[in-house]
Amino acid sequence: MKHSVGRAGRQARLGVLLVALVASPGLAACAATNAVTTAKTYAAGDGFSGEIADPASGTSVQLRNMLVVGEKKGGPGTLLGAVVNNGAKPIDVSLTVLDATGQAQLGTGTVTVAPGQLVKVGPGEKSSVSISALPVDAGAVIQLKAGTPAGSDQLSVPVMAPTGTYAGIKP
């Protein structure tokens, strides 16, 4: 059996083809106006990151995935994260955990980082900062001030409950 396409069928096909040709450049141009999301740097963890730059030497110290693990207000807590030295000389980085207002000091420590190295901060690591009494419950945010001879940076860091990924961490 032979099928024939009538004039209305040809016009419909022509209309669809015309719409496709007209819309194609517009749809393809979406990529031209939107940045590629995967090309953006972001912190892929629960904590927050920061940087202390030294303009005189052109180097920096990076703070990576900084957070506090603790369960409840009044209970103990501990700082977790990593410090990276992008410079050519060893550097001492002071870490001071502060309350949410950034006024009351909760715990301090110093990390010595060799050139081009990463040092983890936390229980069982080379460096740790303990907090005897958290001023907030898990889920809240407190402050971390990090300092080097070149300057300092202050970050808001989350307080995470010792569950899931952090279940084995005892403040």
- Model pTM score: 0.75
- pLDDT attached to residue 30: 60
CATH number (2.60.40.10, 3.40.1160.10, 2.60.120.10, 1.10.10.10) of 46-166 reads: 2.60.40.10
Task: Round the average pLDDT of the chain to a whole number and report it.
Answer: 86
Domain spans, the chain: 7-38, 46-166
Which bin fits 23, alpha (ψ -120 to 50), beta or left (φ > 0)?
A: alpha
* Position 3 pLDDT exceeds 60: no
Residue 147's beta-bridge partner residues? 94, 152
Per-residue pLDDT, averaged over 151-167, amounts to: 94
Separation CA 63–CA 97 (nearest Å) = 13
Q: How many helices (H) and strands (E) does the chain have?
A: 2, 9
pLDDT band at 56 (very low <50, low <70, confident <90, very high): confident
Give the residue with greater pLDDT, 143 vs 55.
143
pLDDT band at 10 (very low <50, low <70, confident <90, very high): confident
**Residue 156 neighbours by CB under 8 Å, 6+ apart:** 48, 141, 142, 143, 144
Separation CA 43–CA 162 (nearest Å) = 20
Q: Give CA torsion, residues 151, 156, 162, 167, to 10 deg.
A: -60
Separation CA 26–CA 21 (nearest Å) = 10
Per-residue pLDDT, averaged over 12-35, amounts to: 67
Q: Give CA torsion, residues 15, 19, 22, 25, to 10 deg.
A: -150
* Position 99 pLDDT exceeds 70: yes
